[in-house]
Amino acid sequence: MYSVSCRRLCKTFQQGELAVHALADVDLDIDAGGFVCLFGPSGSGKTTLLNMIGGLDTPSSGEITVAGQRIDQMKRAELARLRLKHLGFVFQSYNLIPVLSARENVEFVAQMQGMGAQQRKHKALTILAEVGLQGLEDRRPAELSGGQQQRVAVARAIVSGPELVLADEPTANLDSATAEILMKLFVQLNQQHQTTFVLSTHDNLIMNYARRLIKLRDGRIVEDIDQT
């Protein structure tokens, strides 16, 4: 099970001569098995914080500990192994491989992890059916709608059973019924496998499912709400 801890976390971007503080002295602890939603207006720092926790971006200062490991001190190869073996990501931009089918996209991470061909095919087909894409497994991303591509991205993120899932606006392109199915699947994974979920959203549906809400504004945590 994967816990997360951030201490005095700062991220500053330079835009010409202007310094933009995307995160400013963020302190945050997320217990292993947590189900947490980051929310707040656009530009509040939600995506930046997710990227920091996932080791996709480096802090300007501060510390990030994931499962007891200081990832801000890890080398690039160590971070890559951590992401491959233990983390699942859902990006707003999907990041699907255009020449691969939906099933092949979902299988890709499992293949990189060394899972056998038959096992990863079975798991990919099972998870695609769970997110409502049965019958569309052989379509490439360009042949799928935005919402369908989003579901492929979700299936890819969770197919190998990661200990920590980081999802940036996972319901942004989904209708309400599909979003409800997706959130119930996330809750099931969280409860049965103690998978830690950290999601960013503007969607009230996700907020209602989350056990804890973290509100950001101008790169700072301004509210921490326990919904248990």
- For residue 18, what pLDDT is reported? 85
Look up residue 56 and give its two tokens.
């996709």
CB of 30 closer than 8 Å to CB of 198: yes
- For residue 2, what pLDDT is reported? 86
Q: Which amino acid is at 141?
A: P
pLDDT greater than 80 at residue 224: yes
Query: Mean pLDDT across the stretch 17-32?
Result: 92
Please name the residues in contact with 16: beta carbons below 8 A apart, sequence gap of 6 or more.
none
What percent of the chain stands above pLDDT 90? 67
Q: What are the residue ranges of helices labelled H in the chain?
A: 46-53, 76-86, 102-112, 117-130, 146-158, 176-193, 204-209
- For residue 104, what pLDDT is reported? 96
Q: What confidence tens digit (pLDDT) does each residue in 67-107 have?
A: 889 999 999 999 998 988 899 998 888 889 999 999 999 99
Please name the residues in contact with 187: beta carbons below 8 A apart, sequence gap of 6 or more.
35, 209
Report d(CA 63, CA 73) in Å as an integer. 8
Q: What are phi and psi of 33, to 5 degrees?
A: 80, 10
Domains of the chain: 4-226 (3.40.50.300)
Mean pLDDT of the chain: 92
Q: What confidence tens digit (pLDDT) does each residue in 146-189 have?
A: 889 988 998 999 888 899 999 999 988 888 888 898 899 899 88
Apex CA 88: angle with CA 82 and CA 90, to 5°? 135
pLDDT greater than 70 at residue 1: no
Q: What confidence tens digit (pLDDT) does each residue in 165-177 have?
A: 999 999 888 888 8
- CA-to-CA dists, residue 196 to 5, 85, 86, 189, angstroms: 13, 14, 11, 9
- For residue 134, what pLDDT is reported? 93
Intra-chain end-to-end CA distance of the chain, in Å = 20
Band of residue 193 on the pLDDT scale cut at 50, 70, 90:
confident
What's the length of the chain? 228
- List the strands of the sheet with 164-168, edge to edge: 87-90, 164-168, 196-201, 35-39, 212-217, 220-226
Residue 172 DSSP symbol = T
